[in-house]
Structure 1
């Protein structure tokens, strides 16, 4: 059974920000309905308050739905919800005119006028702010807010609202709508920025892998390119000498054999250097990379003095664990500990992002277990408590490398 709140812990940072942003706009709808809708029940008779409250609720729900669809549009998941924006504008106009009509031409009483006037202003403010989300250009955002403020004056004067009160209402709508529009635009910008930063982090991890592959390919080309060229030339020379019956052909083929064996040895050295990892270097690199990604990383223990095969195996564990914390988790903290004894070395990597090694091409847990098995080591990995993933690698201090 899943624990309460586990759905939140499984979300990535961008997904959490998006969820927070969506529910913030939904909360705006709740604020609208509660602050100007509920007071209607105590300010006027039920037969008048109920329809007006229904209109306010419909407008609040329309704002929430429109905001959600606009967020999908800004994330590229759907086309611009133009019909929904027009629907919100129409509902806003209907509710605003109705509220102002009740305030100026409805039953008398200060409570009625105050409550209905509040509905008029707040409806226009939230309507302008949400509709501005569906506009990219800054000038058009200004135009939407200014248009709602001007519309408030155009509607208010004919219905009998005094000129000073009309100017105040227009100013309130302009400032309030501008604030909601700014808040909406900033929230959308922040959400997009978080997604872009997450994509940049993944790109950095992929570039690190690509850079290592390029280094390996470059080293292999330097070794094989030179030696294969020499082998080709000497083989061609040996063929020519053999056709002429010259005894030097045998010496050239012996030289070709020697160069081929030397090439084989050099390739092994290149591959061995590619596969081996220095534990001390990997610990320092992990701490630097995680810190650059905003993840607090604590490293304890020393790698100096460990056998080379032990360092190589554990270094790969650190490298793989760090890569997967960056790419697959949502960690805030990570601890790496190296504990040594006379018999073995234990490496523990723990993070609160619930991310384990699962890289492509068998380079995850299976690949790490194969590397550790070569030095008689073991690997344990799994979630130890809610949202915390722990990886423990144990390697004997004296190892025999499996051929």
Structure 2
């Protein structure tokens, strides 16, 4: 069942909205053919069952396909994948105008099987063209002029062919009302799709800004620690040089002070780096779930907690989650990922990260990420195992023994 539904679940929110929008417009193309293209065939009787109804059906079918192609390319333009299909929009509008004019000519010549065929086909083809053209526009001000312009053009063409003014007014009103509805529907769909993609891109930018902000914070902290101490070291070193040139015994005292400040700076830098490297396990688990789901994967996080984890254990496991998430995104073509953290009341704490879509052979030499994780876990007497487990699945298993844990107090 997961294979049947994965094509939908594995998509991001923007991808789901885009897929739904595209298939809705594909349905509209089929609707034009089945609802309006069959009208001349249904109205044909006796001697009217000739080439004209069949030609009209084929004309409506070609028009529906043309509008569908224009709509598809316009959606690509809406989400920023390609340029605006201006030429195709002009061609579609011109084809619609020629087809509508030809239908009106057939009506005046009495070649249509029924008097309702011409109004139905002219209005329907105008509506779908209006919707497709509106989707190629960004400004609402320009969108609102498309339907009135099409209605006015249709009414004038009807009058030019000698059709009574009352009937020409009916043509114009029909095209106008339906065109306004189609303009709103197509325009709103394009706006919604563009908004969803903008939100998706905003989330990506927000994530990158968060990383950049954290780097700036670390840079500021490091500058605050080292800037003052290095300035003092430079001044005292210069003073020691001057005293040494004068053979003053105070030069030794100044160099001892420089040594003390340098050692103190090393300690402060280690404290800053240690605080920067601490990872919050709960934040990392939730972040991994969000990142993998945003990448179109079905990510499931399971947390079985029977005890409280020490801060150093949480930090080490948090880094395991972070590195494993990075590997899932970079390597293979994963669709599902399982992250399971187990902390029983007795026994070791285990963290399992397993994903499908792993390549049969590694893409290159192993990086330093797993080696760094093994060093972090080794400090807690922990172990790390990583490798293929069959079926295109990759598993990473981290384990920390029981003696590194803080147990929950049992309350009466």
TM superposition score category, shorter chain reference: 0.7 to 0.9
Counterparts of 2:6 and 2:74, CA distance in 1: 28
Structure 1 residue 119 displacement after superposition: 0.9
Q: 1:176 aligns with which of 171, 178, 183?
A: 178
Normalising by structure 1, report the TM-score.
0.79
Counterparts of 1:252 and 1:156, CA distance in 2: 102
Structure 1 residue 22 displacement after superposition: 2.7
1:79 matches 2:97: no
2:53 alignment partner in structure 1: 49
Contact 1:88 1:127 in 2 (8 A): yes
Counterparts of 2:190 and 2:387, CA distance in 1: 38
SS of equivalent residue, structure 2 residue 145? helix
Taking the TM superposition and a 5 Å limit, the aligned residue runs for 1:234-313 are 234-279=236-281, 286=287, 305-313=308-316
Count of residues in Structure 1 that have an aligned counterpart in Structure 2: 385
1:357 alignment partner in structure 2: none
1:204 alignment partner in structure 2: 206
Contact 1:334 1:349 in 2 (8 A): yes
SS of equivalent residue, structure 1 residue 394? strand
Structure 1 residue 148 displacement after superposition: 0.9
| Deviation per residue, 1:139-170 (Å, 9 max, x gap) | 32222210111122112234454433332332
| Deviation per residue, 1:69-113 (Å, 9 max, x gap) | 22233334433322212211111112212223333432475xx22
Structure 1 residue 27 displacement after superposition: 2.2
Structure 1 residue 308 displacement after superposition: 3.3
SS of equivalent residue, structure 1 residue 113? coil
Q: Which runs of 5+ in 2 are unaligned?
A: 359-365, 406-412
CA shift in 2, pair 1:81/1:118, >3 Å:
same
Contact 2:131 2:182 in 1 (8 A): yes
SS of equivalent residue, structure 2 residue 309? coil
SS of equivalent residue, structure 1 residue 398? helix
Q: 1:397 aligns with which of 391, 394, 402?
A: 402
| Deviation per residue, 1:251-306 (Å, 9 max, x gap) | 211121121112112211211111122446666x759989xx9x999885559742
Counterparts of 2:327 and 2:40, CA distance in 1: 55
CA shift in 2, pair 1:29/1:330, >3 Å:
farther
Contact 2:373 2:384 in 1 (8 A): no
Contact 1:280 1:304 in 2 (8 A): no
Counterparts of 1:222 and 1:330, CA distance in 2: 43
1:152 alignment partner in structure 2: 154
Counterparts of 1:275 and 1:9, CA distance in 2: 34
1:378 matches 2:384: yes
Structure 1 residue 374 displacement after superposition: 4.8
Mean CA deviation greater in 44-53 or 7-16: 7-16
Counterparts of 1:155 and 1:364, CA distance in 2: 72
Counterparts of 2:33 and 2:371, CA distance in 1: 55
Contact 1:104 1:113 in 2 (8 A): no
Q: Which runs of 5+ in 1 are unaligned?
A: 355-360
SS of equivalent residue, structure 1 residue 341? coil
Contact 2:131 2:186 in 1 (8 A): yes
Contact 2:278 2:315 in 1 (8 A): yes
Contact 1:287 1:297 in 2 (8 A): no
Counterparts of 2:177 and 2:327, CA distance in 1: 47
Q: What is the Cα-based RMSD across aligned positions, in Å? A: 4.2
CA shift in 2, pair 1:186/1:312, >3 Å:
same
CA shift in 2, pair 1:236/1:364, >3 Å:
closer
CA shift in 2, pair 1:23/1:217, >3 Å:
same
